[in-house]
Amino acid sequence: MMGFQVLETSKLLNYARARSLWIVTFCTGCGGVELPPTATARFDFERFGIISTPSIRQADLLLITGYVTPKTLKRIIIVYEMMRNPKYIIAHGSCPVNAGIYWDSYNTVKKLDLYIPVDVWIAGCMPRPEAILRALVKLMKMVKEGKALGWKRYLENFEFYRKNQDRLFGKDWRKREIEKLRFYIHD
Amino acid sequence: MSIQEMRRISGEGGRETFELIIGPVHMETENFSIIVTVEGDTVVEAKVNAGFLHRAFEKLAENRTYIQNVPLLLRVCVPDPDHAETAYSMAVEQLLDIEIPDRAKYIRTIVLEMARISAHLFWTFGMSAAVGLYTVGQWSVADRERFIELFEELTGARIYHIYNFPGGVRYDLPMGWTDKLMKVVNYMEKRLKEYDKVFFENDILITRSRGLAKISTEEAISLGVTGPNLRATGVPYDFRKLDPYAAYPYIDFEIPTGKYGDAYDRIMVRRREIEISLNIIKQAIKELPSGPIMAPIPHPLYYNVPPGDAYARVESSKGEFGFYVVSDGSDRPWRVHIRGPSFIHGVQLLEKLLKNVRIADIPVVLKSLDNCPPDIDR
Ligand code: SF4
């Protein structure tokens, strides 16, 4: 726990972190279609030092771009736990908030906040690139001030999150997921 | 490739095969994963693991009225939603037995062709990323923005413009909109030559995709492949000509076909389609009639539809997109079935084509088919 204290109060580190947020390229759901316009020539988030990287270990920002199905949520949790601290999440669109237009679907996750800690929410269906930029800038500000502490919440309330995840997927879901893939391959 | 797992599964006689799981955290597969068995550098067997985006549209549609279903069902195909809303509207129009006014037909044609161009430009972005030529990706997304801006002026939304409705279209064209569209069309025509120089006639693209993942016409037809992937094998099979809807019967255009059915042909068919769509837009603007834009529908919010069933299909940028709607006479559909194009060429055809392909060519094969994962899962 000592390590976190040092990291949290160091202003220089926070400044450096805010200025080079790297994104995991994991587009979940429809919002993924607004990411290329935000990343490329017209809106261009690279001027904020944000780059999308194919490697999970090098990234510190996970964008959840839309509805989350249980099958995707498993991957999201695995990806989130594989990222290194400190790490941030932006949830994008009204679907992660309350499942949006799919509120009565049997296969969407209704409250994302129960399973992973979200730092910034963007409302709208689908949010415009300007809104995504605004959220990114807001996250940069929060990181600079040391207020984006989702990753710490996840560590402190790990039992809570794990309990919710187990309730949705059943105990030992990681092991079963791997076995399912095996089955998939050999059938 | 980011989440990959390599596992050794057998090792008899010096022959070693590995399993490689590609996606869904991957730049090219977008939102589904492929499990490939590789021997050395060559794929022996491929299986698609889809279902990451399943939202149960067909069930949700049964709980919503016919009008409420328009904003729901257009979310089936994310890069190209206009074709989905048109196909659904056409199915409901068949059930209600109404004919849309001439002006609405022309406006629909213009909007659908704009949607086709922007979907193809979006695909160019993915294709260029698969080959590694990122410059073209930056250009094509920025050029797509010009069409998106026009859409925004017309409909108010960037991606999901709930515009084609049962009975016609929702708004008339704003003042001066067609002039702006003409400007963008002329710009795009000039711009395509630059695309050719940098991308479509580039040696890197040609060497990487010529002769890759060939399919014959018979195979494609027996699997049920439609759209540009079928046309690349040399068949001019296009519902705009075969079963014309909107204003296509009054418009003169040709259908591009390929010759060999390989990845490069599929790429070039799409590139030529952009050009032809630009031509269609020009003609449609020239002949745009005046008059009403909406046929009288029973009630703006909800209405009972006479019992029966209807199937309507459109030629979307990815292939045949159809809706099969069954009505029992109430204000909600009894059953809606969605026939998406990507389910066929994104699963069955892909599994077939990935055999004997090198690992580095998997993204090229995948992107040359232009599949759309939300439409596979529905
Ligand atoms: S909020 Fe809207 S755009 Fe975003 S995932 Fe949900 S339905 Fe799609």
Closest partner residue to A107 (CB to CB) among B55, B142, B160 is: B55
Q: Which of A78, A71, A94 is nearest to A24 (CA)?
A: A78
B59 lies within 8 A of chain A by CB: yes
Partners of A109 on chain B (C-beta within 8 Å) are none
Question: How do residues B332-363 score in pLDDT, each as one tens digit?
Answer: 899 999 988 888 888 888 888 888 888 888 88
What pLDDT sits at residue B2? 36
B26 lies within 8 A of chain A by CB: yes
Tell whether the model's pLDDT for residue A183 goes beyond 70: no
Residues 220-239 of B with CB under 8 A from A: none
What does the block give as tokens for A128? 């415009």
Distance between CA atoms of A152 and B271, rounded to whole angstroms? 49
ipTM: 0.84
Partners of B158 on chain A (C-beta within 8 Å) are 34, 126, 128
How many angstroms does the Cα of residue A94 sit away from the middle of ligand 1?
A: 6
What pLDDT sits at residue B186? 92
Pair A98, A111: CB distance under 8 Å: yes
Pair B207, B132: CB distance under 8 Å: no
What pLDDT sits at residue B115? 92
Distance between CA atoms of A103 and A97, rounded to whole angstroms? 10
**DSSP assigned state of B199:** I
Give DSSP secondary structure letters for B223-277: HT--THHHHTTT----HHHHS--TTGGGS-------SS-SHHHHHHHHHHHHHHH
**DSSP assigned state of B30:** T
Question: How do residues B125-159 score in pLDDT, each as one tens digit?
Answer: 988 888 888 888 889 999 999 999 999 998 888 88
Mean pLDDT confidence for B274-286? 91
> How far, CA to CA in Å, does A69 sit from each of A178, B27, B237?
18, 20, 36
Residue in chain B closest to A39 (alpha carbons) equals B138
Question: How do residues B238-256 score in pLDDT, each as one tens digit?
Answer: 888 888 888 888 988 888 8
* First-last CA distance in chain A: 47
Question: How do residues A37-70 score in pLDDT, each as one tens digit?
Answer: 888 888 888 888 898 888 888 888 888 888 888 8
Residues 6 or more apart whose CB falls under 8 angstroms from that of A108 comprise A67, A68, A69, A95, A99, A102, B55
What pLDDT sits at residue A184? 55
Which of B13-22, B40-49, B89-98 has the highest average model confidence (pLDDT)?
B89-98
Tell whether the model's pLDDT for residue A145 goes beyond 70: yes
Give me the count of residues in chain B.
378
Give DSSP secondary structure letters for B128-185: HHHHT-HHHHHHHHHHHHHHHHHHHHHHS-SS----EETTEESSPPPTTHHHHHHHHH
Partners of A181 on chain B (C-beta within 8 Å) are 21, 35, 49
Q: Do B78 and A32 touch (CB under 8 A)?
A: yes
Tell whether the model's pLDDT for residue A124 goes beyond 80: yes
Phi, psi of A53 (to 5 degrees): -120, 140
Residue to probe by mutation, ligand 1, list A26, A27, A30, most atoms within 8 Å of CB: A30
Which of A160-164, A172-176, B299-303 has the highest average model confidence (pLDDT)?
A160-164
Partners of A32 on chain B (C-beta within 8 Å) are 30-31, 78
How many angstroms does the Cα of residue B14 sit away from the middle of ligand 1?
A: 50
Torsion angle of C-alpha atoms B187, B193, B197, B201, degrees rounded to 10: 130
Q: Do A75 and B71 touch (CB under 8 A)?
A: no
Pair B125, B142: CB distance under 8 Å: no
Q: Return the amino acid letter for B206.
A: I
B123 lies within 8 A of chain A by CB: no
What does the block give as tokens for A97? 């908030």
B141 lies within 8 A of chain A by CB: yes
- β-sheet with B335-339: strand ranges across: B308-315, B320-327, B335-339
Q: Return the amino acid letter for B163.
A: Y
How many angstroms does the Cα of residue B35 sit away from the middle of ligand 1?
A: 28
What does the block give as tokens for A39? 């990343």
Average pLDDT, chain B: 86
Tell whether the model's pLDDT for residue B12 goes beyond 70: no
Pair A87, A80: CB distance under 8 Å: yes
Distance between CA atoms of B48 and B351, rounded to whole angstroms? 7
What pLDDT sits at residue B183? 92
Pair B92, B66: CB distance under 8 Å: yes
Give me the count of residues in chain A.
187
- Whether this prediction's pTM lies above 0.80 is answered by yes
With b meaning 16 or more CB within 10 Å and e meaning fewer, what string describes B42-80? ebeebbbbbbbbbbbbbebbeebbbbbbbebbbbbbbbb
Pair B323, B87: CB distance under 8 Å: yes
- β-sheet with B42-49: strand ranges across: B6-10, B17-22, B33-39, B42-49
How many angstroms does the Cα of residue A41 sit away from the middle of ligand 1?
A: 24
Residue to probe by mutation, ligand 1, list A33, A68, A125, most atoms within 8 Å of CB: A125
B50 lies within 8 A of chain A by CB: no
SS3 per residue for B32-90: CEEEEEEECCEEEEEEEECCCCCCCHHHHHHHCCCCCHHHHHHHHCCCCHHHHHHHHHH
Residue linked to tokens 């209807």: B310
What does the block give as tokens for B283? 């003609």
What pLDDT sits at residue B45? 85
Partners of B374 on chain A (C-beta within 8 Å) are 29-30
Question: How do residues B185-239 score in pLDDT, each as one tens digit?
Answer: 999 999 999 999 888 888 888 888 888 888 888 888 898 888 888 888 888 888 8
Q: Which of B343, B335, B277, B347 is nearest to B308 (CA)?
A: B335
What pLDDT sits at residue A92? 86
Q: Return the amino acid letter for A171.
A: K
SS3 per residue for chain A: CHHHHHHHHCHHHHHHHHCCCEEECCCCCHHHHHHHHHHCCCCCHHHHCCEEECCCCCCCEEEECCCCCHHHHHHHHHHHHHCCCCCEEEEECCHHHHCHHHCCCCCCCCCHHHCCCCCEEECCCCCCHHHHHHHHHHHHHHHHCCCCCHHHHHHHCHHHHHHHHHHHHCCCHHHHHHHHHHHHHHC
What pLDDT sits at residue B14? 55
Query: Residue B95, SS3?
Result: helix
Mean pLDDT confidence for B105-133? 90
Q: Do B19 and A185 touch (CB under 8 A)?
A: yes
Q: Which of B346, B349, B334 is nearest to B377 (CA)?
A: B346
Query: Residue B210, SS3?
Result: coil
Q: Pairing between strand B164-165 and B33-39?
A: unpaired
Average pLDDT, chain A: 83
What pLDDT sits at residue B1? 35
Mean pLDDT confidence for B26-33? 80
Phi, psi of A75 (to 5 degrees): -65, -40
Can you give the C-alpha Rg of chain A in angstroms? 17
Distance between CA atoms of B51 and B227, rounded to whole angstroms? 23
Element (H, E) at B284: helix B263-286
How many angstroms does the Cα of residue A33 sit away from the middle of ligand 1?
A: 10
